[in-house]
Amino acid sequence: MNIFRRLICAVLIPALSSGAMLYAAEVKPHVDAEAIAPDQGAAATWQALKRLHTRASLLMIVAHPDDEDGATLAYESRGVGARVSLLTLDRGEGGANVMSSDYWDALGLVRTEELLQADRYYGLDAQYFTSMADYGFSKSLNEALGQWGHDRVLEQAVRVVRTVRPLIVCSVFVGGPTDGHGQHATAGLMAQEVFKAAGDPKMFPEQIKEGLLPWSPVKTYARVPFFRVSEKGMYDYANHTWGPVGVTNHITGKWEPGKPSVTVSVPSGTFDTVIGQTYTQISHEGLGFQRSQNGGPNVPLSGSLMSDYHRFGSTIDSKPTEESFFDGVDVSLTGITDLAGNQAPQSLRSGLSEINSLIEKAITEFSAAKPAAIAPDLAQGKKRLEVLIGEVEKSALSNPAKDNVLYELRVKDRQFNDALVAALQISLNADVTVGGKDDPMMAMFRGAQSTFQMATPGLSFPVKVHLYQPSVSSLAINSVSLKGTSGKNWDVKGPTAPTQVNATKAVEVTYSVQVPEDEPFTRPYFTRDGLQNAFYEVAKDAPRNKPFSPYPLQAEAELNYEGTSIQLASVVQVVSRVNGPGLLRYPMPVGPALSVALSPAAGVIPLGSQSTTVSVRVRNNVQGAAEPVVRLALPSGWSATPDSIPIHFTQTGEEQTVSFSVKPKAAEGAQYTVTAVASLSGKEYREGYTTVGYVGLRPYFLYAPAKYTTVGTDVKMAPGESIAYVEGSGDDVPSALEQIGVHVTHLSAQDLASGNLQKYDAIVLGVRAYAVRPDLIANNARLLQYVEKGGVVIVQYNTPEYDHNYGPYPYVMSGDPEEVTDEKSVVKILAPNNPVFNWPNKITEKDFDGWIEERGSKFLQSWDPKYTPLLETHDAGQPEQKGGLVYARYGKGVYIYNAYAFYRQLPLGVPGAFRLFANMLSLPKNPEIH
């Protein structure tokens, strides 16, 4: 799949506000510009018919993006036609990134966007998140619950279940040690606990007051875990210990000895003849969009594949083995009647039976060549359903029966709407456009013209709405409009839309739009004060558990077909043309006129520093020229030269960086804050955003105050050092090193192949360099020659791609290398006389205080005696780990492998990390070496 392919979202994201019935009635806007292949043409119509013909529904609960069993999700949604949702507890903030230097909360936004891209292939109806944050690797369930809070997670899982009302809840995890991660185990635990809790009116009664009534799923499952079993018992991959074989059933509270039985095998490798792929292949295309973790897609060849699940609980009499998740559950349309129990009026069953007959007639008469031929049956079914909804609303049914029945009927109403859109192949698009007329013939070849990328409060601009249908002679247009989603008053002016849209004759309406002055910015509705917080705070009145708040402006259209209303919505897009990927469309965001950011945002001030450089990056979102003035708000006793700097922007989207020479007055251990302020037209701007992601991924925006937080630190660096850097998957170490006077030279592939490496005192390899730099592997021998002749090479954290003896002497990392996740774990200095610890900074164990998130990852398992291990640390219950920092003399130089997380510590201004890293960089001039 081309990395730059633009797609349209098949993931419909429900509102989680009071009154869950809103979910079923909503028309949800597309947030990508083009549909993926499985959701276009006849394939889309065929799948819409499958969904109409069943009330099957499923919710999967996992911990992080990419944990999901996408093949099972795709089979249940696209193969069975079930209404399928995914609850992902956190956004993967604590992980690594092979695509960019986005980490922590920025990485969480990247992985959210990646998961939303993957979800379209799974065919999901909805994606949810809790407010939990991935604080790093957890080795036990208790550790994860201690960080997140059991009831906090359960409350949000119950909220989602009561919103989605699934018949089946499942997880990839069982809630025990075999899950390999405490956060994984939490997801497995929640899938079992929510099975009982969501239907208990005593659990979280405040939700019931909001309109989320109790809901009891029928069954709950978990993927059969992978056990390594021998005469010792079961191997616990999280704690690397052996224990008894079995799992805890968290519903019954009982230990179930032995490997969990396979209750149902999901045939996820089934081939879909309409789509032309297996569901496993479709899901792997989606999984490939989670590039920050896997680097890109890996789609298997067609073949049979089963996904095995064990049933942990059921409210019905269920057999030990089943053909599907829904065995024993009436998932037919008439099965909706069961929700009313003995109160069900006969008219409900007969009405559903009549609607079902129309759906089956459409299925029988479906033709891939002429999908619109079944539209009359769909229209008749939708009209009959709407009559039935009215009858139930007026009936004497009591709650929760009435609420549950209406919920399911409104789901079907929305699905009828979707089926008609697919069968008639109607499309609605809305683009920001440039003023003036465009030659239609030139536009056909050139495509849309590039527009601004960020709207600002008060901005006026045109939006062109494009409505098209190729299937019937004409469709009546009831309305076409543009609407804001925040509740603010958008000023929209434009002509009245035509009264009909004829086959193959697109209707285009151009509106003049003005952004409200008080329109909120497009930003996450969830924030946290620092990485020490394991969960986010959610903004008041913000939508709960959704991936993001809605984008600010959408187009809506209502059509009439044979007496029934068809509704469409499409988010308004901005347009850009980029060399390589070509024309890109992204949802239009709203942001500030000026974005202001300080670089770096955190760091250290060496004691006795006479000056330091503070850089301010300003982005202009004003249309055209702008003349802001930038100054610094400084701590007492500090001064900056110059006092202020004017910036001259000539066009929108332009960025400029200005630098101040700051004279600090720092005491050891004292913390200081510098704030950048940009002034324009009488307004001051003190925050800015980072556009996170990479080319080909829909961007999102992480906001932060324009502040630089720094700590007075006794850190020295050998003078006159020439340092080179081989960038890996992306990190902020080079910019952090600027604060201690280190200005690195980035080495290209050509430099590694033929450049003069000996002119550098030290060469640092960036994180995961061996995973993403084939040129580094090809020229590794030149690096070793460089060391042999007197150079210093420092290899930072690398994944098992490094496990090929790239060092001067043999070592073993293993395919599952160790990591030490407790940032407070005791660190012992094993070789206190080693030069690394003694010059120019005297390193002690206190230098490991205040580290953030983890000690390190991918420790070596064993090594040649010519390597000297310098440090030891370990988590509770973990064997001693000495392979995190190993040192070797080779010829005249030094080779170091370092698994400690300097790439996290340096950008966040951890003093001891700077002191130790400065010593490694200073080795070429260390008097003990020569």
pLDDT digits (tens, 9 = 90+) for 71-96: 999 999 999 999 999 999 999 999 88
Cα(278)–Cα(612) distance, rounded to whole angstroms? 59
Highest mean pLDDT, choosing among 694-698, 820-824, 881-885: 881-885
Tokens of 776: 């580094």
Tell me the Cα Rg of the chain. 30
> What letters, b where the CB count within 10 A reaches 16 and e where it falls short, cover 844-880?
eeebbebbbbbbbbbbbeebeeebbbbbbbbbeebee
- Judged by DSSP in three states, 271 sits in strand
Express each pLDDT in 442-498 by its tens digit.
Answer: 455 456 789 999 999 999 999 999 999 999 999 999 999 999 999 999 999 999 999
Averaged over 428-443, what is the pLDDT? Answer: 73
Rounded distance between C-alpha atoms, residue 123 and residue 418, angstroms? 13
pLDDT at 8: 30
Q: What is the pLDDT of residue 2?
A: 32
Per-residue pLDDT, 19: 34
Identify which of 286, 280, 294, 283 has the alpha carbon closest to the alpha carbon of residue 7: 286
Rounded to whole angstroms, how far apart are CA atoms 760 and 791? 7
Q: Residues of the chain with pLDDT > 90: what percent?
A: 83
> Is the pLDDT confidence value at 898 over 70?
yes
- Structure confidence at residue 233 (pLDDT): 67
For 615, the token pair is: 């850089």
Amino acid, res. 480: V
Instruction: Report whether the peptide linkage leading into residue 543 is cis, meaning its omega lies within 30 degrees of zero.
Output: no
Split at pLDDT 50, 70, 90, the class of 101 is confident
Count how many residues are written for the chain.
930
Residue 342 has a pLDDT of 87
The string of pLDDT tens digits covering residues 165-177 is: 999 999 999 999 8
Q: For residue 464, give the 3-state DSSP assignment.
A: strand
Q: What is the pLDDT of residue 241?
A: 59
Report the predicted TM-score, pTM, of the whole model to 2 decimal places: 0.90
Query: Where does the pLDDT of residue 152 fall: very low under 50, low under 70, confident under 90, or very high at 90 and above?
Result: very high
Q: What is the pLDDT of residue 7?
A: 29
**How many Å separate Cα 449 from the centre of its chain?**
29
| Mean pLDDT of the residues in the chain | 92
User: What local confidence, expressed as pLDDT, does residue 447 receive?
Assistant: 60
**Residue 637 pLDDT greater than 50, yes or no:** yes
**What pLDDT is attached to residue 23?**
37
Answer yes or no: is pLDDT of 18 > 50: no
% the chain with pLDDT above 70: 94
pLDDT at 231: 61
For position 438, what pLDDT does the model report?
54
Q: Under 8 Å CB-to-CB from 351, ≥6 apart: which residues?
A: 384, 387, 388, 391
Q: How confident is the model at residue 13 (pLDDT cuts 50, 70, 90)?
A: very low
Q: Which among 171, 169, 109, 98 is positioned nearest to 134, based on CA atoms?
A: 109
Hey, is 905 helix, strand or coil? helix
Which two three-digit tokens encode residue 886? 């190993």
Average pLDDT of span 670-683: 97
Task: Reply yes or no on whether the pLDDT at 20 is more than 60.
Answer: no
What is the side-by-side order of every strand in the sheet holding 507-514?
Answer: 491-493, 507-514, 460-468, 427-432, 573-578, 582-587
pLDDT digits (tens, 9 = 90+) for 751-807: 999 999 999 999 999 999 999 999 999 999 999 999 999 999 999 999 999 999 999
Residue 5: predicted pLDDT: 27
pLDDT, position 4: 27
pLDDT 10s digits, 333-351: 999 999 998 888 889 999 9
Residue 322, pLDDT score: 98
Say how many Å lie between the first and final Cα of the chain, rounded.
Answer: 54
Q: Which residues contact 191 (CB under 8 A, 6 or more apart)?
A: 61, 169, 170, 171, 173, 175, 220, 222
Pick from 485, 493, 497, 595: nearest CA to 550: 485
